[in-house]
């Protein structure tokens, strides 16, 4: 049975790679219940909420992580927020009567801003240009440019739920071996489909993708 409204962390034993699996169901419905967005905007909001939630689990902090995409297209601003205990919310600002869809077409040229607002201390903010055809492409670009960490993210959203899969390379002393391991795990993860991510349990999906690997699931 599919896990609902759950984020699971996992590690590949003996590999310098970590990952996360996410499902938003009732939380997704609650996040959008006060908005009457067009379906194209709703799709982008769901993916942004998943991205923010996955990212909030990669760091230790008390406060909020805010993911904001701003552009010159009909979708002017897309905002998703996740607290350290995974309370989520999101919203969008857009022009009426737009005639396009898709992340890059809706947002056009712009930037992605990632802000961490701790309950104590000063906020941290990273800014990168918007790239790619999905919010996940922009997030991957952020980690490549700002954190120098190889990161891949797959997100699928529909009206009922949102699913996400995240993998990230960890620091390693053996760069050649680490590169080989990353290439293999990335290729396996790349085969994930929307149907698998939205219908399978975390255990079943990880076994299907990585059945020859030793995966420790938390």
Tens of pLDDT along 30-40?
998 888 899 99
User: What number is the average pLDDT over the span 73-98?
Assistant: 94
Report whether pLDDT(115) > 70.
Answer: yes
Q: How many CA atoms lie within 13 A of 90 on its CB side?
A: 34
Contact 19, 167 (CB under 8 A): yes
At the second CATH level, the architecture of 6-217 is 3-Layer(bab) Sandwich (3.55)
Both tokens of 94, joined, read: 């857009």
> What local confidence, expressed as pLDDT, does residue 87 receive?
93
Kindly state the average pLDDT of the residues 167-186: 94
Question: Tens digit of pLDDT for each residue in 49-58?
Answer: 999 999 999 9
- CA 31/CA 13 separation, integer angstroms: 35
State pLDDT tens for residues 124-174: 999 999 999 999 999 999 888 877 889 999 999 999 999 999 999 998 888
Which pLDDT score is estimated for 59? 86
What per-residue confidence (pLDDT) applies to 167? 98
**Mean of the pLDDT values across residues 19-39?**
93
Among 18-27, 111-120, 140-149, 192-201, the least confident range: 140-149
| Mean pLDDT over each residue of the chain, to the nearest integer | 94
Does residue 1 have a pLDDT over 70?
A: no
Whether 2 shows a pLDDT value over 80: the answer reads: no
pLDDT at 111 over 80: yes
CA angle at 30 for the pair 2 and 19, rounded to the nearest 5°: 45
Task: Please count the residues of the chain.
Answer: 218
């Amino acid at each position: 049975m599919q896990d609902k409204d759950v984020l699971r962390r996992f590690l590949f034993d003996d590999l310098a790679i970590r990952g996360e699996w996410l499902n938003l169901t009732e939380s997704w419905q609650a996040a959008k219940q006060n908005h009457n967005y067009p379906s194209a905007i709703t799709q982008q909001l769901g993916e942004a909420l998943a991205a923010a939630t996955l990212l909030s689990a990669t760091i230790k902090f008390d406060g909020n992580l805010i993911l904001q995409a701003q552009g010159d297209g009909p979708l002017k601003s897309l905002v998703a927020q996740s607290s350290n205990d995974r309370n989520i919310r999101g919203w969008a600002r857009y022009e009426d009567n737009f005639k396009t869809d898709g992340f890059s077409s809706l947002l056009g040229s712009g930037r992605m801003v990632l802000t961490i607002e701790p309950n104590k201390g000063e906020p941290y903010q990273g800014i990168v240009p918007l790239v790619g055809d999905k919010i996940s492409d922009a997030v991957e670009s952020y980690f490549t440019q700002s954190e120098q960490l190889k990161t891949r993210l797959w997100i699928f959203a529909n009206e009922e739920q949102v699913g996400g899969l995240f993998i990230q390379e960890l620091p390693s002393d053996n760069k050649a071996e680490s590169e080989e391991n990353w290439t293999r795990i990335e290729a396996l993860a790349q085969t994930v489909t929307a149907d698998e991510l939205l219908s399978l349990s975390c255990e079943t999906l990880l076994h299907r993708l990585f059945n020859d690997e030793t995966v420790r699931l938390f």
